[in-house]
Structure formats: C-alpha cells, structure tokens
Amino acid sequence: NAGVTQTPKFQVLKTGQSMTLQCAQDMNHEYMSWYRQDPGMGLRLIHYSVGAGITDQGEVPNGYNVSRSTTEDFPLRLLSAAPSQTSVYFCASRGQGGQPQHFGDGTRLSIL
C-alpha cells in the first residue's frame, strides 16, 4: 500500500516555465489537498478537493490551478512559475468522516 505518492521529489524551473506536480493516492480517499511550506510561514493550504470533479481554493491559491478528474489523482499546475513559488509542496488525502490526513513526502521546487 503506497499511500500518497508525489512526483517529482525535486525540480528546478526558470521563471515563466510551467509544470505539473503530481499527487496520487491508492486509499480511495474522497478528500485531497495541496499545501506549501515556507520558512517562518508554516504550512498553508493552496487548493483542496472534496471528491472527483469538485475543487476549491484554500488560503494561497494565486498562481496555481488544480483539477480532479479521478478519485486517485490531484495534480497541481503552475502555469507561469515565479520565484515566490519556490517552496516545498505537500499533498495530503483523507477518508470520510474524521479520518486522519495522510501526507506525501513532498516536492522541493526552486524557481530561478
């Protein structure tokens, strides 16, 4: 049972490039979410999904797009990367009710 899998683990981009951070879970969880972690700011919610086809914005959504076409996958897209998006990105999922959140190992992203 792999849990929550994030790819890639590391990525360096140039300003203006686009990329997609992948997140997949094999636990049939309805709820999935994306966070970024920055020094001094803690973890902040970017976008979340409460089921396939349903997404919504979190605290810091600007510059990011998401979609949820399947229960398993919740990709995060940067359309035009900016240095302010240099961060560590974590994906999480949980089941229905008060189930605990399960986190992936993170993607370390640097924008030059």
Partner 1 sequence: KQEVTQIPAALSVPEGENLVLNCSFTDSAIYNLQWFRQDPGKGLTSLLLIQSSQREQTSGRLNASLDKSSGRSTLYIAASQPGDSATYLCAVLRSGGGADGLTFGKGTHLIIQP
> To the nearest whole angstrom, how small is the minimum distance from the Cβ of residue 16 to partner 1?
28
Residues sharing a CB contact under 8 Å with residue 66, sequence separation 6 or more, in sequence order: 34, 46, 47, 49, 55, 74, 75, 76, 77
The amino acid at residue 112 is L
Q: Which segment (20-28, 64-72, 76-84, 88-96) binds partner 1 by CB under 8 A?
A: 88-96
Pairing assessment for the beta strands 31-38 and 42-51 based on DSSP bridges: antiparallel
Nearer to partner 1, 17 or 86 (CB): 86
The site for partner 1 (CB under 8 A) is made up of 31, 33, 35, 40-45, 48-50, 56, 58, 90, 92, 94, 98, 100-106
